[in-house]
Amino acid sequence: MIIAGRKPFKEITESLEGFDSVLIVGCGTCVAICLAGGEKEVGILSAQLAIFSEMGGRTLNIGEATVERQCDKEFLSELRRKVPDYGAVLSLACGVGVQFLSDMYPDTPVLPGVNTAFIGANDDVGLWTERCRMCNQCYLALTGAVCPVTMCPKGLLNGPCSGMRGGMCEVDPAKPCAWRLIYERLENTGRLDQIKAIAPPQSHGLTTTPARIAHKAYERRTPANESL
Ligand code: SF4
Ligand code: SF4
């Protein structure tokens, strides 16, 4: 899932300067799970903003809404009656949600309330770790399902580097070298021969932006050269 963290309160209040009303919009999916922008976080931020504006002698009309997913137009259309009542929208979704809200409601300023960090996993209560950097050329078949792009700070597709010491990473000696983990995983699954395989160079042409993928079944409906 996409992992994000709420922006510092000061940054949020600065971005709202000059507005006398704001609709805070949460997202019920990734950012709700990582405790950054779900319904609960919308309520907390709303209360903080209300106190802040009252203490500053300012009137700020605050609205709250949370949709199931901000990266889906179907759910954003639920807001069509609410958005026009506010001077700004503060989205607590990932950057995709912020942009999509702005696309849907181009006459209203849409501001981000969170910083989108990475694609990661729920490792423990309140702990998320990066697991994928969307290289669009997944190497996990070669590496025992340990991602070399995210687990190795140098993103080495063929490792380890010469800095590994006692199985630990030279960049962060508190962490195991990703290539040690790859070695152990391949060994445990009886595929250690695989460690000799040389991964092809990463094709950065596969990660040019803006990326676009059309499902085969829908290619006629959305031709590759159609503008967004
Ligand atoms: S190799 Fe790593 S970064 Fe690339 S797609 Fe696979 S998991 Fe994601
Ligand atoms: S020690 Fe291992 S994880 Fe650290 S940078 Fe070198 S190859 Fe990557």
Averaged pLDDT for residues 86-101: 98
- For residue 222, what pLDDT is reported? 78
- Banded model confidence at residue 213, pLDDT cuts 50, 70, 90: confident
- For residue 210, what pLDDT is reported? 87
Domain made up of 2-118: CATH architecture:
3-Layer(aba) Sandwich (3.40)
Averaged pLDDT for residues 97-126: 97
Alpha-carbon gap, residue 165 to 153, rounded angstroms: 15
- For residue 227, what pLDDT is reported? 46
- For residue 225, what pLDDT is reported? 55
Alpha-carbon gap, residue 216 to 211, rounded angstroms: 16
Q: To the nearest whole number, what is the mean pLDDT of the chain?
A: 95
- For residue 24, what pLDDT is reported? 98
Question: Whose C-alpha lies nearest to ligand 2, atom 4?
Answer: 169
**Domain ranges, ordered by start, for the chain:** 2-118, 133-207
pTM above 0.85, yes or no: yes
Q: Is the CB of 140 under 6 A from ligand 1?
A: yes
**Predicted confidence (pLDDT) per residue in 42-88, tens digit:** 999 999 999 999 999 999 999 999 999 999 999 999 999 999 999 99
Q: Could you tell me what percent of the chain has a pLDDT over 90? A: 87
Q: Is 223 a residue whose pLDDT tops 90?
A: no
Query: Which numbered atom of ligand 2 lies nearest the CA of 159?
Result: 7
- Banded model confidence at residue 197, pLDDT cuts 50, 70, 90: very high
Residue type, 217: A
Alpha-carbon gap, residue 14 to 150, rounded angstroms: 33
Q: Of 134, 132, 136, 157, which Cα lies nearest the Cα of 206?
A: 136
Q: What is the DSSP string of 103-159?
A: HH-TTS-EEE-EEEEEEEEEEETTEEEEEE---SS--TTTTTT--HHHHSTT--SS-
Residues 64/49, Cβ–Cβ less than 8 Å: no
Query: Which numbered atom of ligand 2 lies nearest the CA of 160?
Result: 7
Residues 6+ apart with CB under 8 A from 44: none
Q: Is 226 a residue whose pLDDT tops 60?
A: no
Provide the 3-class DSSP secondary structure of residue 176: strand
- For residue 214, what pLDDT is reported? 86
- For residue 228, what pLDDT is reported? 44
Distance of CA 52 from the midpoint of ligand 2 (Å): 46
Q: Of 147, 150, 142, which Cα lies nearest the Cα of 186?
A: 142
